[in-house]
Amino acid sequence: ICIFHGFYAEEDLVGNLASMSTSERIKAIQKMPETMKKKREIRNKVLREITKKSRHHRSQHSCTQCLQGTAVSFRRFGNSLSEYFHLLRFWHRALKMIGAKFGTSVLSYFIFLKWLLNFNIFSFLINFSFITIPQFVVAEPNKLSFTGLELLTGAGYFQQTVLYYGFYTNATITKIKNGPSYDMQLAYIFTVGLYFVICFLILLFSMAKSFCRNFINLKTYSGNASKLLCTWDFNITNEKAVKLKQKNLSTQIKEDLTEVNREVVHFSAKERAVRIVIHLVSWIASLGTAVAACAGVYFLSINNLKLFVKGHKNDLESQAAMLVLPFVASLLNAFIPFFYSWLGHLERYQTPGHHVYVTIARNIILKISIVGILCYYWVNIVAASESQCWETLVGQDIYRLVLVNFIFCLLGSFFGEFLRRIIGTTFFVSLGPPEFDIGRNVLDLIYTQTLTWIGILFSPLLPGIQIIAFSIVFYVKKVSLLMNCQPPRKVWKTAQMTTSFMFLLFFPSFIGVLSVIGVTVWRLKPSEGCGPFRGLPSMYAAVSEWITMLENHTPSKWVVWIYHNLITSVLFFFILSVLALIITYLYWQIIQGRKTMIKLLQKQIIN
């Protein structure tokens, strides 16, 4: 009797839903206390019932039935796509596994890596579409032979390809007589310029979104009881998904409890003095190491340039000499962070978060200093050298730095994690498996992305190389993490860490890159014999000549007005800066008021 009653009740439910409008029917199905599988079954029955009714009244409502049938078909197609699109989300399952086993601290690294990969896909599509494809139209065949060493050095055969600045033409491309033309000078500088403007806006938006989600979202301040009792998703029916969700929820509760149960350790005056001395010595040692590394890179780069300018051959010795500078720079970037991690353990911070943030600060000083020395070398020494095409020489240097750093990143996973696990589980059992070094790995990503941004002007397809590198790094790091590393011994909450990573990527990384690109475009003289800006006093002179030409063209007067009154106006940018500061101040006040309100509400709930 119960079975027949349930059957007829479902039939009535389907009939009632079929008689509703589309929006009312969707809301009614969403509010049902059923699993997603059951909701899909009910939805499909309703759609079949609607189709059946529409066929029954076909003779009377032929036009209405046709439109309704089309709408139902599109809705079925959309529902099918939405069901399967969830399964195709990029690395979704891998991220859930990492978050469930290792917590949000390690997960933040992989989320940041995925975000950078998407960023480089966008960069590659823009450069390839507006710079590289037009160059293919007028490209001449490459007469150099390919030996295979070019994959490591970036020289030889690759010099005469679209990989580097020097290969691009300075002519106006026209395939049809008296037809539309394509100015490569304007296309090159506007594509790079607009790309950096878009990057600036994306970084600001991403930081604001991450800040809102991790700092001022109401869910961040929800109690542990609500997380324990109200966050389970009853639509999950798969056994593996249930276990994964249980691990994830358990890790989140442990992180919250760690924040609540944090003990404040009180030190005596003698202990505090000893700790201060240890911190000072550690910072002096870390800064001294960074200065020594920068000095070594600078002198090595000058000797490297002398070798290239005096005698540049394609023999094995010259090819190997090209790899000395990137090898030494990558070696310093790979091994000095281990020294910084050892200093952090020596200082014995009270929480893992303090240790990670201090290690990140020391690593960012090291890596940005090395990049700054290299930029000074490229802008002031290479650009003034006797090289026929200094822009291509800079592009080759950056290519080698990115490639060798990628190789060291893979070797770091092998030696720093795999061999460390063997030693810790076989010879020195008290050490145990290693923990994932978040600070060192994140700064590797920021360092490589900084080089890529600088290299876009000199090697437009460099983001394509980064796409391949980041994809391989993700899978290698994921496998190494799951096989070699153990979860953090001290569980700690790091919801704000992704925001910190994006801020470090914005400043000093992106802001520093804008400074280097600005000096290159406005101040440096392009090479006389290569590239789209050959023969001009500066790259920006191409824009000035274009504006001068438009002044004699009446329909384009509005472009000239925007250029003179907005783009080159100091007052306009001063007003924009003041407005940005005012908006930032008001936004900060709103955030503080919201935090105060949340704390008052929490106190009232507790009372």
Q: What 3 state SS string does 292-305 have?
A: HHHHHHHHHHHHHH
Three-state secondary-structure class, residue 437: coil
Provide the pLDDT for residue 451. Answer: 95
How far apart CA 163 and CA 463 sit, in angstroms, is 11
Provide the pLDDT for residue 315. Answer: 58
The residue among 221, 248, 216 whose CA lies nearest residue 232 is 248
Three-state secondary-structure class, residue 262: coil
351 phi, psi to nearest 5 deg:
-125, 150
Does the pTM surpass 0.85? The reply is no
Q: Provide the pLDDT confidence category of residue 314 given band limits of 50, 70 and 90.
A: low
Kindly tell me the sign of the dihedral angle through the C-alpha atoms of 125, 127, 132, 135.
Answer: positive
Average pLDDT for 23-49: 78
Kindly tell me the sign of the dihedral angle through the C-alpha atoms of 543, 544, 549, 555.
Answer: positive
Helices (H), 505-569: 511-522, 541-550, 557-562
How far apart CA 271 and CA 281 sit, in angstroms, is 15
Residue 592: HSE in the Cβ half-sphere, 13 Å Cα cutoff: 6
How far apart CA 399 and CA 455 sit, in angstroms, is 8
User: What are 32-43's pLDDT values in tens digits?
Assistant: 777 777 777 888
How far apart CA 340 and CA 346 sit, in angstroms, is 10
User: What are 396-435's pLDDT values in tens digits?
Assistant: 999 999 999 999 999 888 887 888 888 888 887 777 888 8
**pLDDT over 90 (residue 463):** yes
8 A C-beta contact, residue 153 and residue 322: yes
The residue among 521, 565, 519 whose CA lies nearest residue 542 is 521
Tally the residues of the chain.
607
**pLDDT over 70 (residue 214):** no
Cis omega (within 30 of 0) on the bond before 508?
Answer: yes
- CA Rg value for the chain: 30
Q: Provide the pLDDT confidence category of residue 75 given band limits of 50, 70 and 90.
A: low
Three-state secondary-structure class, residue 173: strand
For residue 603, give Cα distances in angstroms to 223, 260, 464, 596. Answer: 11, 15, 52, 11
Provide the pLDDT for residue 31. Answer: 76
**Quick one: DSSP state of residue 35?**
-
Kindly tell me the sign of the dihedral angle through the C-alpha atoms of 251, 256, 258, 261.
Answer: negative
Provide the pLDDT for residue 280. Answer: 92
Q: Let me know how many helices (H) and strands (E) the chain has, helices first.
A: 23, 2
Provide the pLDDT for residue 335. Answer: 87
Provide the pLDDT for residue 529. Answer: 86
